[in-house]
Chains A and B, each alone.
Chain A
Amino acid sequence: MLNLLFYIFATMTLVPAFLMVTSRSPVSGAMYMIASFVGMACLFVLLEAFFLAILQVLVYAGAIMVLFLFIIMLLDMDEAEDLRTKSLPSMAAMIAFGLLLVTVLSFFKGSYDGPLSPIQATTTTTVVTEAIDLKAKPPALPFSTKARTFGYGLFTKYMLPFQVTGILLLIAMVGVIVLSKRHEAQGGKQEG
Chain B
Amino acid sequence: MTIGINEFLTVSGLLFSIGMFGVLFRRNTIIMLMSLELMLNAVNLALVGFSRHNQDLDGSLFVFFIITVAAAEVAVGLAILVGLYRKRESVMADHLNLLND
Contacts and interface: CB of A to CB of B under 8 A. Distances in A.
A21 B18 CA distance: 7
A68 B53 contact: no
A47 to B, nearest CB: 5
Given A89-B24, A93-B21, A97-B17, A142 B56 contact: yes
A29 B31 contact: yes
A39 to B, nearest CB: 10
Interface in A59-86: 59-60, 63-64, 67-68, 71-72, 74-75, 77, 79, 81, 83
17 contacts: A3-B1, A20-B31, A21-B19, A21-B25, A26-B31, A33-B37, A43-B45, A49-B51, A64-B74, A67-B78, A81-B31, A100-B21, A101-B17, A114-B2, A141-B56, A153-B57, A154-B64
Contacts of A37: 41
B6 A110 contact: yes
B55 interface: yes
Range, interface on chain B? 35 or more
Interface of A: 2-3, 6, 10, 13-14, 17-18, 20-21, 23, 26, 29-30, 33, 36-37, 40, 43-44, 46-49, 51-52, 55-56, 59-60, 63-64, 67-68, 71-72, 74-75, 77, 79, 81, 83, 89-90, 92-94, 96-97, 100-101, 104-105, 107-108, 110-117, 119-120, 140-144, 149-150, 153-154, 157-158, 161, 165, 168-169, 171-173, 175-176, 179-180
Q: Tell me the dominant secondary structure on chain A's binding face.
A: helix
Given A97-B20, A143-B56, A64 B5 contact: no
Interface of B: 1-11, 13-22, 24-28, 30-31, 33-35, 37-38, 41, 44-45, 48-49, 51-58, 60-61, 63-65, 67-76, 78-83, 85, 90-92
Contact of A44 (B33, B48, B68): B48
Contacts of B33: 68
A75 B24 contact: no
Given A18-B18, A60-B41, A68-B30, A10 B76 contact: no
Contact of A21 (B16, B26, B73): B26
Contacts of A20: 22, 31, 34-35, 38
A150 B61 contact: yes
A108 B2 contact: no
A116 B4 contact: yes
B52 A13 contact: no
A176 B64 contact: no
